[in-house]
Amino acid sequence: MSRRDPGPPPGGRSAGGKLLAVLDAFTRERPALTLSELARATGVPLSTAHRLVAELCAWGGLERSADGRYRVGLRVWELGALAPRGLGLREAALPFMEDLYEVTHENVQLAVRQDTEVLFIERFAARDAVPVLTQVGGRFALSATAVGLVLLAHAPAEVQERVLAAPLHRFTEHTVVDPRRLRAVLAEVRRAGCAVSDRQVTVDAVSVAAPVLARGEVVAALSVVVRGSSAAAVRSVTPGVRAAARAISRAVEQAGLTPEVLSAQPAG
């Protein structure tokens, strides 16, 4: 949904920073870019962009297609697969997500917190399930989705205050955008042990989420999203979401995945 902080201006970037800026220019909306577009996106001269792109292509970080546009290369995917917050957590969760999907045939999602955003790392969806705006590898606001509410409710106080102090995006007329009301919602999430997002993202979708724990700390959230017009729409699936989240928590423990690894956030 939102973009990361682009960091310092081009003149202040190191050589490595410029290479990372090239990779960061790619988004889900812009998966393929020309050399000129990369130069503009990173704020470097065309000659510099050419050199950076050549280095990334040689390493495997970028690939050039027949139309002359560049796309992210498989080498980046290989490195991403090593991240324990993605691969390890996903492997622990997959059997229970599959079971939950077979029972509900609805959207089943697993997400972690990345600073003040939700990052979705896995999702199952039936062909006739209610459409959602989220996607694997995509980011979203912490304050609107059920998984985001779980993760925000258990985030450090400093993160909560930053989210509450920033403008809250209104997706629908049901989105909670009053910081005082959101603070009360988060308190209720902690009390109830789960979160419900009632048409806060789209007007026809209701979701319920429960926390995934590692050694007593919340490291992820699991949700089911259904079509509905009130919070009652998720009543029948809530016990299954809770049970699956507890099972994933046990699998995380058995896999030896620690909160320090699963809750790691970008430095700086």
pLDDT digits (tens, 9 = 90+) for 140-173: 999 999 999 999 999 999 999 999 999 999 999 9
* Confidence (pLDDT) at 267: 44
- Give me the CATH topology for the region 10-80: Arc Repressor Mutant, subunit A (1.10.10)
DSSP SS3 for 46: helix
Of 57, 60, 52, 53, give the one whose Cα is nearest residue 77. Answer: 60
Q: What is the CATH number of domain 87-262?
A: 3.30.450.40
Of 140, 144, 155, give the one whose Cα is nearest residue 218. Answer: 155
Q: What are the backbone angles phi and psi of residue 239, rounded to the nearest 5°?
A: -60, -40
Q: What are the backbone angles phi and psi of residue 159, rounded to the nearest 5°?
A: -70, -45
* Confidence (pLDDT) at 184: 97
Of 211, 223, 209, give the one whose Cα is nearest residue 101. Answer: 223
Domain ranges of the chain: 10-80, 87-262
Q: What are the backbone angles phi and psi of residue 211, rounded to the nearest 5°?
A: -80, 145
Both ends of the chain: CA-CA distance in Å?
22
What is the C-alpha to C-alpha distance for residues 122 and 138, in angstroms, rounded to an integer? 10
Full-model pTM: 0.72
